[in-house]
Amino acid sequence: MKPFTRAALLLAGTAMAAPAMASTASADGQPERDYLPSDIVVKGERADDYGTDDGSTATKTPTPLIDVPQAVSFITEDQLEDQAVHQLGDALRYVPGISMETGEGHRDEVFIRGQESTADFYIDGLRDDAQYYRSLYNIERVEVLKGANALIFGRGAGGGAINRVAKRAEFQSAISGEASVDSFGAFALLADVNHAASDSLALRLNATYEEFDNDRDFYEGRFIGISPTLTAALGPDTTLYASYTYDNDERVTDRGVPSLNGGPLTGFDSTFFGDPDFNFATAEVNIARLRVEHAFNGGLSANASLQFADYDKAYQNIVPSGTDGTDVFLGGYRDTTVRRNWIGQANGIWEAGTGTIESTLLFGFEASSQDTQNARQTVSFDDGDPLTTDDNATPLAETIFIPAYTLNPTSRSRDSQLSTLSFYVQEQLQIGDYIELVGGLRWDRFDLETIDLINGVEGDRVDEEFSPRAGVIVKPTPDLSIYASYAQSFLPQAGDQFLVLSPDSAQFEPEKFTNYEIGAKWAPLSNVLVSAALFRLERTNIRATDPADPTLSVLAGESRAEGFEIGAVGEVTDFWKANLGYTYLDGELLNDNAFGDAGQRLQQLPRHSISAWNRFDVTDTIGFGLGVIHQSEQFASFSNDVVLPAYWRVDAAAFYTVSDRLSLQVNIENLFDETYYPSAHGDNNIQPADPFSARFGVRFEL
């Protein structure tokens, strides 16, 4: 077991879609850093430890990444450890092609290839779609699969999907831990206990306690996470995995700063535009998963998963809604959501071959039910002056005075029940040594019923959709693949959280996402993968005003995003590990529709994105890290009225190996103390970035 890598210290377990990462030390004793997961084979040969697992998340089959006709980015445990990253949003900033939405200060929200989502999040390939912040204390790897992904993931995933691969209990015993603190006083404690109770039973417990702080006035919070897992060998060909995760998050809801004169309001980067006694968010998450895998004779294997998730979420805030440079105008509300999800999924994989032709056939189904209750109360302001008309206005100052306000009775309450049923089939056909074909089709039945409890308005709609996928891969050599692919996804008109279906939207077919992509993947070295992709993503069936009758809506709206990306990841030399990427993105509304007018650029779509993380091991005990993030200017919303300026951010790190069981590191974020605004939620909730900060950490293994 290699020292001081998260794969070793936290005992990385076999992923739901892939086996455990290899853990070895280099010949000179310096700990290896696995930026390229060992289970992702890039030379065209399957690793021995693929076993009976599903294989890559992109296909649900044991497929080397080089044979997947789709752009995929990933961040391994070792990179997360080297960057001292504990939250999903922080990890995704190092994935080019992704821009971060502020998520209103209480949830993960991303743009992938210009498509916004609060729901395209998965854990071990199963949907985790509630609105909350996700921690990485029990996660082995983060994967970003780009482009339409309905065949694998179902509805949504128009721009892509984000999958977290969870740790599993391993058949070895060890105890490890981590502690860190930063220059603002935020700290994190992590523990990992793995126990092999017998030759057929392994138990594991991951736990964390984290407290938040930064340079923003009044900001604070804490996170508690506990995740026990079990692995049971029920026989030579059958394995059972069980896991439970309890996450409890409490934090101040920080909505950032408003805009002024077409850009973020400057000079108030630490000012809190809310009430520290009112702005608060809580999330309590319970997720239980059970999975059985079995290998039959004749190249046939199967797996079945069941997941139950319970989410209890509440957030409330006073929020800036604009400023004229003298006064700032405020709004506010309280929002609560309770959601319960059941998901069942089963897959069969049949691998067969005749020598010149090899086939991998996937067939499966998924069924789910979702019950959601959501309610909102708005805030009314009263400044005590009967002569003023803007009771929500208050002087712009370093510390914002909040006028008196009251929480109104419930103004929005809705209940929704969603049930889905899906069947899918996919064929991967290898013809000789040079040609591989991928084709598949998924059928979804999507049944949504909602009720507006305030007005008594009911909505219901049943959609039945087919989602195709096709790809061709040409392999001139085993370490080079050139591919072309086509895929389609859909999203019902109720939006990605499915809280309410209005009578107007209930009459319309779902939106469509169609992705066209050509690309290449090349392994110039055994531990390096270089990839490139050129793509176009078309979104259709967006609601628009009927030109013949402005009082009516029609499904005529369209948008398009297109671009190019290139990346390289792995061990470049014995002392240099890297994950590098660049993405060019262009996108606009093609006609007047519900988002805006024809020609407007898609929101939060930087034309150029660069991310580069490097680790250099200069001796057996000393290493350094260097990271760069760049995004060009982008519009805060579809209005195209407010610009988030371009920025560069430089991060750095230093690592010191004390002994085989102890290591130290320091991480610097925003090394040159740049002022920038990386994310927004509309034109008047813009998040200032953290200034220079340092985090000091220690890791140990018993």
For residues 8 and 97, give the distance between their C-alpha atoms in angstroms, rounded to a whole number. Answer: 30
Mean confidence (pLDDT) of the chain: 89
Q: Report all structural domains of the chain as residue ranges with CATH numbers, in order of start.
A: 6-701 (2.40.170.20)
Amino acid 19 reads P
Decide: residue 518, CB within 10 A, 0-12 exposed, 13-18 middle, 19+ buried.
Answer: middle
SS (H, E, C) 418-468: EEEEEEEEEEEEEECCCEEEEEEEEEEEEEEEEEECCCCEEEEEEEEEEEE
Q: Are residues 162 and 170 in contact, defined by beta-carbon separation less than 8 angstroms?
A: no
* Contacts of 158 by beta carbon, 8 Å cutoff, 6+ apart: 115, 117, 120, 148, 489, 491, 511, 513, 537, 539
> Which of these, 87, 212, 72, 200, lies nearest to 147 by C-alpha position?
72
Structure tokens at 650: 């430089």
Lowest mean per-residue pLDDT among 216-230, 378-392, 622-636: 378-392
For residues 594 and 612, the model is more confident at: 612
pLDDT of the residue at 109: 96
What percentage of the chain exceeds 70 in pLDDT? 92
Over the stretch 417-442, which tens digit does the pLDDT of each residue have?
Answer: 999 999 999 999 999 999 999 999 99
Q: Region 606-625: what's the mean pLDDT?
A: 96
pLDDT surpasses 60 at 5: no
Q: Which residues, in sequence order, are CB contacts of 687 under 8 Å at separation 6+? A: 102, 254, 256, 257, 677, 678, 679, 680
pLDDT in tens, 292-338: 999 999 999 999 999 999 999 999 999 999 999 999 999 999 999 99
Q: And the tokens for 385?
A: 């002056």
Taking residues 247-263, report their average pLDDT: 97
User: Are the beta carbons of 698 and 656 closer than 8 angstroms?
Assistant: no
Residue 390 has pLDDT above 90, yes or no: no
Amino acid of residue 667 = N
146 vs 11 pLDDT, higher one? 146
Q: What percent of the chain has pLDDT over 90?
A: 78
620, pLDDT greater than 70: yes
pLDDT of 225 higher than 90: yes
Q: Are 185 and 219 in contact (CB under 8 A)?
A: no
Closest CA to 54 of 18, 14, 12: 18
**pLDDT > 70? residue 3:** no
∠ Cα 263 268 272 (to 5°): 115
Q: Is the pLDDT of residue 188 over 90?
A: yes
| Residues 20-51: tens digit of each pLDDT | 333 334 444 444 556 665 544 443 333 322 12
Please compute the mean of the pLDDT values over residues 395-410 and round it to a whole number: 95
pLDDT tens column, 451-484:
999 999 998 999 999 999 999 999 999 999 999 9
Sheet holding 126-127, edge to edge: 72-76, 139-146, 160-166, 121-123, 126-127
Three-class secondary structure of residue 82 per DSSP: helix
**Secondary structure E strands in 183-299:** 187-196, 201-212, 221-235, 238-251, 259-260, 263-264, 280-295
The DSSP output letter for 103 is G
Residues 6 or more apart in contact with residue 354 via CB below 8 angstroms: none
**What was the pLDDT predicted at 36?**
60
CB 635 within 8 A of CB 603: yes
Model confidence over 391-401: pLDDT tens digits? 899 999 999 99
pLDDT at residue 58, as a whole number: 86
| 625 has pLDDT over 90 | yes
Question: Would the pLDDT of 629 be above 50?
Answer: yes
How high is the pLDDT of residue 494? Answer: 82
> With left for phi above 0 and alpha for psi between -120 and 50, is residue 298 left, alpha or beta?
left
- In this prediction, residues 522-531 reach a mean pLDDT of 89
Which range (346-360, 425-439, 542-556, 604-618) has the least confidence? Answer: 542-556
Q: What is the mean pLDDT of residues 482-490?
A: 96
How far is Cα 78 from Cα 16, in angstroms, rounded to an integer?
19
Per-residue model confidence (pLDDT) at position 88: 96
What is the pLDDT at residue 37? Answer: 56
CA distances from residue 702 to 13, 176, 192, 661 in whole angstroms, order as listed: 18, 6, 11, 7
When mean pLDDT is compared across 145-149, 321-325, 666-670, 683-687, the lowest value belongs to 145-149
Residue found by looking up tokens 């050599």 in the block: 477
DSSP state of 60: T
Residue 237 has pLDDT above 70, yes or no: yes
